[in-house]
């Protein structure tokens, strides 16, 4: 088995205690899943399946009637989770007595065919607990779970918690085939009903309904949205499509009944009383659970996110061993959480606080408008969590600001056949742009020379005027910084904060080694660049971080004159509030680029430490 699968297996076995069993017996009773590989058989996906009618004949009939034979017979990069004939027989029985292929509607057949196909190719060694990184052809994520067969003590891989992997990694010219023993049947429930369907989540589900927050998780798709089919990207000649859909999505971070009970909470009434302890000062609203100042409402709201988080971290361009994290805004107004990776597959919320929470890396469930993740302890926005965030550098990728990019499977999209999108006016909730603005998102899937945080970027072209809401932060004094990736095609932009102009226009064409900025490579200094850091700060600039780099090669952001940070200014927020940043072109060039990568909101305790030490370079 390859390294990643071994590490995943080891992680799981440690949790289940099976390693202890193996230590006592001295027998390696965990076997691999079909270790034989069929490598580049000379077939395409379709021809391989067609030549095996005794195993995949029913799925071939589905593919044929859905009109996908041509696609699966042509060059490309696909993952096909192919149900066996026995899987289809079980599926027909689930629909009723005497049901067979001929009884299926065309809509059912189309859905079945597309449910089992994902682009691009994913071998099992690249999978981990969670979901396959890209959606299937029905724009739905497929859940992945590494488990143990309790009878045979063997490792198994499950898709959507039901379909077991039988034949793995059958590589063909246009992708890979994995044979499975069940037809995939994604949930069509809305997120509140998905939670309610699990009896182990009954306390959380009842509180979700009681607070009325279940009604905030109902939207599925904006049916009024009309894609713009030919969006012209004039700076390099591409014709770009806008997203096919404008879907809504949500995430619920959910405690099981067992987690509540381990903390003395046996029913929703116990939770109501405990919430008053965690969120005091709201007694005037004790009996109005739908009021946003009610303690139970605050508790539940902090568990909900207005975007579907199918993957927590985006690793493209990150250096090895860099801390992977994401700051996430909850539905408790203006309250955020920090989510970090702990170990190869572990996930922790608000690390280093008195309310540190571990997220189960198994048993998440997806549905038509979101996902829930199970928590191993209770999530609370405590004073210590607030204080820790108030003293943390908050760096966030531009894509993290816009739920639509996650909800529509755009952010971090890794299929290089389509790595950029254009957006019509009104597509984003938290971004406003003038009609003259040509707004693009570039996932970076095709690019190897960009030095972008998490690999992607947002771009405004021409006479742009873009206003976006930043991630909210706790009250305090912060230095606001904007990442610059300079080149000759860039723009000159006036920056506004809350619609007030800040400083003179920023020329994004100037490289960092220009005397006006003063960047010097650390290797060309006698003190590893510390004095140069001070010089640049005095001019309102900083070098790029050490935590990300060009995808290929070892050039980190700090070591190139193309990547640096502009200090926009210092701002004091006396309360939880919205902060908007606006970029307006001051050039007439219709091809000039306003490239946007990431922001930082940095508290004074980080950029002006009391011990005199400089801020960390990561």
Token reading at 527: 């003190």
Per DSSP (E only), the strands in 244-360 are 250-255, 304-305, 325-329, 336-342, 346-349, 357-359
pLDDT value of residue 79: 96
Is residue 186 a part of any domain in this protein? no
- The answer for residues whose C-beta is within 8 angstroms of residue 548's C-beta and 6 or more apart is 317, 318, 319, 322, 451, 452, 453, 454, 556, 557
How far does Cα 291 stand from its chain's mean position? 30
Closest CA to 254 of 170, 357, 113, 141: 357
Q: What share of the chain has pLDDT > 90, as a percent?
A: 75
Is residue 443 a part of any domain in this protein? yes
493 and 346 in a common domain:
no
85 and 47 in a common domain:
yes
> What would the pLDDT profile of 248-263 be if each residue is shown by its tens digit?
999 999 999 999 999 9
**Range with the poorest average pLDDT among 327-331, 334-338, 418-422:** 418-422
pLDDT value of residue 9: 38
pLDDT for residue 22 is more than 70: no
**Range with the poorest average pLDDT among 324-338, 450-464, 520-534, 556-570:** 450-464
* Residue range of the domain that includes 125: 3-180
DSSP 422-434: EE-TT--SSEEE-
Is residue 613 a part of any domain in this protein? no
591 and 515 in a common domain:
yes
- What is the mean pLDDT of the segment spanning 236-240? 68
**Range with the poorest average pLDDT among 136-140, 216-220, 333-337:** 136-140
Identify the sign of the CA torsion 538, 399, 223, 371: negative
d(CA 371, CA 50): 35
**CATH number of the domain encompassing residue 584:** 2.60.120.260
pLDDT for residue 524 is more than 70: yes
**Range with the poorest average pLDDT among 69-73, 389-393, 550-554:** 550-554
Number of domains in the chain: 3
- What is the mean pLDDT of the segment spanning 366-391? 96
401 and 366 in a common domain:
no
421 and 366 in a common domain:
no
pLDDT value of residue 41: 58
Q: Enter the DSSP assignment of 318.
A: B
Output helix, strand, coil percentages for the chain, rounded to the nearest 5.
25, 25, 45
Q: What is the mean pLDDT of the chain?
A: 89
pLDDT for residue 29 is more than 80: no
> What would the pLDDT profile of 464-520 be if each residue is shown by its tens digit?
999 999 999 999 999 999 999 999 999 999 999 999 999 999 999 999 999 999 999
Is residue 185 a part of any domain in this protein? no
pLDDT value of residue 234: 52
**CATH number of the domain encompassing residue 262:** 2.30.180.10
pLDDT value of residue 384: 98
Is residue 615 a part of any domain in this protein? no
Is residue 217 a part of any domain in this protein? yes
380 and 399 in a common domain:
no
pLDDT value of residue 12: 39
d(CA 477, CA 243): 38
- What is the mean pLDDT of the segment spanning 378-397? 98
pLDDT value of residue 232: 59
pLDDT value of residue 17: 38
Tell me which of 118, 146, 180 is where a domain ends.
180
pLDDT value of residue 591: 83
221 and 340 in a common domain:
yes
pLDDT value of residue 554: 84
> What would the pLDDT profile of 32-41 be if each residue is shown by its tens digit?
333 334 445 5
Is residue 616 a part of any domain in this protein? no
Question: Is the distance from CB of 492 to CB of 501 less than 8 angstroms?
Answer: no
Q: What share of the chain has pLDDT > 70, as a percent?
A: 90
pLDDT for residue 48 is more than 80: yes
d(CA 533, CA 616): 12
431 and 533 in a common domain:
yes
Which phi and psi (to 5°) does residue 269 adopt? -65, -40
pLDDT value of residue 32: 38
pLDDT value of residue 92: 95
More confident residue, 200 or 237: 200
- The answer, as to whether pTM is greater than 0.85, is yes
530 and 423 in a common domain:
yes
583 and 452 in a common domain:
yes
> What would the pLDDT profile of 444-458 be if each residue is shown by its tens digit?
877 777 899 999 999
List Cα–Cα distances, 305 to 354, 405, 527, in angstroms: 22, 14, 45
Q: Kindly indicate the confidence band of residue 233, based on its pLDDT and cuts at 50, 70 and 90.
A: low
- What is the mean pLDDT of the segment spanning 141-165? 88
Query: What are the contacts of 121-126 at 24+ separation with CB within 8 A?
Result: 121/77, 121/78, 121/79, 121/175, 121/176, 122/79, 122/176, 123/169, 123/171, 123/176, 124/5, 124/33, 124/157, 124/165, 124/168, 124/169, 124/178, 125/1, 125/2, 125/3, 125/4, 125/5, 125/169, 126/4
Helix (H), strand (E) at residue 568: strand 563-573
3-state SS track over 484-505: EECCCCECEEEEEECCEECCCC
170 and 231 in a common domain:
no
pLDDT value of residue 8: 37
Dihedral, 315, 318, 324, 329 alpha carbons, nearest 10: -70
Q: Kindly indicate the confidence band of residue 428, based on its pLDDT and cuts at 50, 70 and 90.
A: very high
More confident residue, 28 or 92: 92
Tell me which of 390, 408, 441 is where a domain ends.
390
Tell me which of 326, 359, 390 is where a domain ends.
390
- What is the mean pLDDT of the segment spanning 137-152? 87
Is residue 432 a part of any domain in this protein? yes
209 and 293 in a common domain:
yes
**Range with the poorest average pLDDT among 400-404, 441-445, 498-502, 570-574:** 441-445
d(CA 35, CA 275): 51
């Amino acid at each position: 088995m390859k390294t990643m699968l071994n590490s995943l297996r080891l992680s799981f076995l440690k949790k289940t205690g099976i390693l202890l069993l193996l230590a006592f017996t001295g027998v390696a009773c965990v076997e691999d899943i079909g270790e034989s590989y069929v490598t580049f058989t000379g077939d395409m996906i379709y021809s391989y399946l067609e030549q095996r009618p005794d195993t995949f004949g029913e799925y071939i009939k589905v593919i044929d009637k859905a009109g996908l034979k041509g696609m699966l017979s042509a060059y490309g990069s696909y993952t096909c989770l192919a149900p066996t004939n026995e899987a289809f027989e079980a599926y027909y029985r689930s629909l009723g007595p005497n049901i067979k292929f001929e009884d299926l509607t065309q809509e059912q057949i189309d859905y079945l065919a597309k449910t089992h196909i994902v682009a691009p190719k994913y071998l099992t060694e690249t999978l981990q607990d969670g979901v396959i990184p890209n959606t299937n052809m029905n724009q739905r994520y497929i859940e992945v779970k590494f488990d143990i067969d309790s009878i045979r003590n063997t490792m198994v891989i499950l898709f959507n918690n039901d379909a077991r992997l039988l034949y793995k990694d059958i590589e063909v010219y246009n992708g890979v085939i994995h044979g499975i023993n069940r037809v995939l049947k994604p949930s069509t429930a809305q997120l509140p009903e998905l939670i309610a369907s699990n009896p182990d989540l009954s306390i959380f589900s009842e509180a979700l309904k009681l607070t009325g927050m279940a009604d905030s998780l109902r939207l599925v798709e904006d049916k009024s949205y009309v894609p713009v089919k030919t969006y012209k990207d004039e700076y390099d000649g591409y014709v770009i499509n806008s997203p096919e859909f404008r879907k809504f999505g949500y995430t619920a971070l959910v405690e099981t009944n067992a987690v509540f009970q381990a903390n003395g909470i046996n029913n929703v009434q116990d939770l109501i009383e405990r919430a008053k302890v965690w969120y005091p000062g709201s007694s005037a609203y004790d009996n109005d659970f739908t009021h946003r100042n009610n303690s139970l409402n605050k508790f539940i709201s902090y568990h909900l996110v207005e975007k579907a988080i199918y993957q927590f971290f985006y690793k493209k361009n990150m250096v090895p061993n860099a801390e992977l994290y994401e700051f996430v805004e909850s539905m408790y107004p203006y309250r955020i959480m920090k989510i970090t990776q702990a170990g190869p597959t572990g996930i922790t919320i608000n690390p280093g606080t008195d309310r540190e929470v571990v997220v189960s890396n198994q048993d998440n469930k997806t549905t038509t408008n979101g996902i829930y993740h199970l928590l191993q302890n209770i999530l609370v926005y405590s004073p210590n969590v607030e204080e820790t965030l108030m003293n943390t550098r908050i760096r966030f990728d531009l894509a993290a600001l816009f739920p639509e990019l996650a909800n529509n499977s755009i952010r971090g999209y890794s299929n290089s056949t389509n790595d950029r999108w254009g957006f019509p006016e009104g597509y984003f909730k938290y971004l406003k742009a003038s009609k003259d603005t040509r707004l693009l998102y570039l996932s970076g899937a095709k690019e190897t020379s960009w030095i972008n945080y998490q690999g992607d970027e947002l771009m405004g072209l021409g006479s742009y005027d873009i206003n976006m809401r930043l991630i909210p932060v706790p009250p305090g004094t912060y230095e606001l910084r904007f990442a610059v990736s300079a080149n000759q095609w860039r723009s000159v932009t006036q920056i506004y904060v809350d619609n007030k102009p800040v400083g003179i226009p920023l020329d994004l064409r100037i490289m960092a080694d220009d005397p006006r900025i003063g960047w010097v490579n650390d290797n060309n200094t006698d003190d590893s660049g510390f004095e140069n850091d001070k010089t640049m700060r005095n001019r309102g600039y900083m070098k790029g971080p050490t935590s990300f780099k060009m995808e290929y090669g070892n050039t980190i952001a700090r070591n190139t004159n193309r990547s640096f940070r502009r200090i926009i200014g210092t701002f004091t927020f006396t309360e939880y509030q919205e902060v908007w940043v606006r970029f307006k072109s001051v050039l007439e060039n219709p091809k000039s680029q306003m490239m946007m990568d990431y922001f930082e909101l940095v508290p004074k305790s980080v950029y002006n430490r009391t011990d005199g030490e400089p801020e960390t370079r990561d």
